[in-house]
Amino acid sequence: MNVSDGISLLDFLDAPLVVGDPEGRVIYANPAFEQGFCHSREKSLGGELATLFAGGGREAILTAVAEVCASGQTVHIRVRENDRGYLAVASPIEVDRDRVGVLILFTNEPVANERLLTFHREIQQPLEEIQECLEQLIEETGGRRSENFRGVVEQGLGALIRARKWSNELHALLTGPDSQRAQQASLDPVRVVRQVASRLSGDFERAGSELDLLVPAQLPPAHGEDALLETALERLLRQRLFEAGEDTCFTLTARRMGSGDDRAMLIAVIDQPREPRAEAGGETGERLESSAVREAVAALGGSVRTLSYRGVGRVTAISLRLHGG
């Protein structure tokens, strides 16, 4: 529609509204916008839309205006101004000789969502502190001295992973479909595997064991978050190191496997004696990994399986969906 067709009617809207031209300059603001955002309409006209907002709102408006004017598609954003939250709809509008400008309509964001988002932010810090305490505890006691203590701490880490997963789900639900798509993150398996190996290399050296890394220079992204995969791999490797003797060597690998709908990312930890033993033979059974490892892999939407081979060692394989697959 052409803005001049209904400009006088916009004065009667209770919701704040502002109109910009293709260059992002203000050509109209209704009285509700003037009152809610504390900007004089007369002084705002001709100025840049972005200057009417502060902080992150300014960047959001700049991005929305550019996207609407370039694509002619409606964009939904969130803006905070004067300690109030707004849901904004930025829509294309014909303003001058078929050139596309932008009309931005603001509605109040539900108070409940604002409070819940605040709670979500507050929850993140104690979750991080709990993880730090548990990691330190398992290294000082559970991981070194007592099988019973280690099991208790592993159970606590698993519960923590579940709490963080549901906290992230809540945030995605509250922030809407655009943000929820962003939450469906992809991870770089090569970067994660290299980072974990680098972090733990000193521990393996001090224990008299070797940790070899066999990964290609590049692999396609997998579904999930880097932090969850790091948690699973670090817990798995620390557990293997605790159980191993000095004659054990370890290999950490990552590779793509399968095709079509069966495509997957396979990350494996292999521990084996430096010299094959006389009793080397076939498969001896499957092992159930610790709750911390299982919970982290489950949160990634993947699976973990460990198989032992007599006199040869063990293979633990973590299978993840390729991102977009």
What does the pLDDT profile of the chain (325 residues) look like in tens digits?
444 444 556 777 788 888 888 888 888 888 888 887 877 777 788 888 888 887 777 888 888 888 888 887 888 887 877 667 788 888 888 765 666 688 888 887 655 555 666 676 677 778 777 877 777 776 666 455 566 676 777 777 777 777 777 777 676 666 554 444 434 557 889 999 999 999 898 888 888 888 999 999 888 888 887 878 888 898 889 888 888 767 788 999 999 988 776 788 999 999 888 776 555 555 555 666 777 788 788 878 889 998 887 767 889 999 998 865 5
If you ran DSSP here, which 8-state letter would residue 282 be given? Answer: S
Superfamily of domain 185-325: Histidine kinase-like ATPase, C-terminal domain (3.30.565.10)
CA gap 33, 42 in Å, rounded: 12
Domain 3-109 fold is Beta-Lactamase (3.30.450)
pLDDT, position 5: 47
- Give the pTM: 0.48
Give the C-alpha separation, 243 to 212, whole Å: 18
pLDDT for 146: 65
Q: Are 18 and 31 in contact (CB under 8 A)?
A: no
pLDDT at residue 183, rounded to an integer: 41
Query: In the chain, where are the structural domains located?
Result: 3-109, 110-183, 185-325
Q: E strand or H helix at 299, and its extent? A: helix 291-299
